[in-house]
């Protein structure tokens, strides 16, 4: 009797863990628009930097993207319930985002961030760390692939010329921000339609 009860408890725990992981993935998919928004913000900052006044391009673009994210996220969180895994993933990304902003802004204003390869290595490394941690928590192979792309970009930037490092960065942004974000948005939209059809 005790063995049956323990086995049942174990099955319930495993089911709970699997449910939490699935909820975490769905939460990440619902936030796919954030990946796209930040991918576009990176492109705007890169383009602005290339056409002049690069010292202000990144801080202004990143602050504007942060404000827009907060406004849009505030509207979404009122509508959708938050889960423990969702809060953990959100906290992870917020921590990495704030760290990137403080470190890269400080390096930029101190004049020490004149090497584009160094910038790419730091930014891609931090984004790789966030994607890696998220993918390990959620056991999500696609996000793990994004982490590999970011980390490969970070490592390559240490050996490439600045122009090549920026090309690698632009490609990684496209794959790991834009494509991954649109994938999440499409999955979320499909799941909402499916839930609507079930409730109809």
Nearest to 134 by CA among 48, 165, 126, 38: 126
pLDDT of residue 147: 98
pLDDT of residue 56: 81
pLDDT of residue 69: 92
How do residues 160-170 score in pLDDT, each as one tens digit? Answer: 999 999 999 99
SS3 161: coil
| Distance in angstroms between the alpha carbons of the first and the last residue of the chain | 43
Q: What is the 3-state secondary structure (H, E, C) of 119-133?
A: HHHHHHHHHHHHHHH
Rounded Cα distance, 40 and 198, in Å: 35
Residues 20/85, Cβ–Cβ less than 8 Å: yes
Residue ranges of the chain with per-residue pLDDT less than 50: none
Rounded Cα distance, 46 and 147, in Å: 21
């Amino acid at each position: 009797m005790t063995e049956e009860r323990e086995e049942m408890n174990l099955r319930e725990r495993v089911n709970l863990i699997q449910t939490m992981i699935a909820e975490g993935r769905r939460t990440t998919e619902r936030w796919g628009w954030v990946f796209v928004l930040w991918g576009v913000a990176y492109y705007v900052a890169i383009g602005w930097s290339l056409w002049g006044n690069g010292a202000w391009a990144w801080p202004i673009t990143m602050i504007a993207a942060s404000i827009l994210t907060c406004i849009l996220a505030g509207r979404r969180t009122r509508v959708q319930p938050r889960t423990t895994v969702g809060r953990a993933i959100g906290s992870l990304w917020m921590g990495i985002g704030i760290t990137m902003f403080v470190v890269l802004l400080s390096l930029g204003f101190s004049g020490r961030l004149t090497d584009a390869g160094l910038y790419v290595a730091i930014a891609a490394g931090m984004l790789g760390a966030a994607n890696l941690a998220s993918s390990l928590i959620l056991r999500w192979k696609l996000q793990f692939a994004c982490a590999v792309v970011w980390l490969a970009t970070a490592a390559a930037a240490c050996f490439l010329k600045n122009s090549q490092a920026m090309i690698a960065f632009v490609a990684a942004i496209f794959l790991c921000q834009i494509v991954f974000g649109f994938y999440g948005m499409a999955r979320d939209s499909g799941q909402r339609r499916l839930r609507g059809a079930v409730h109809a």
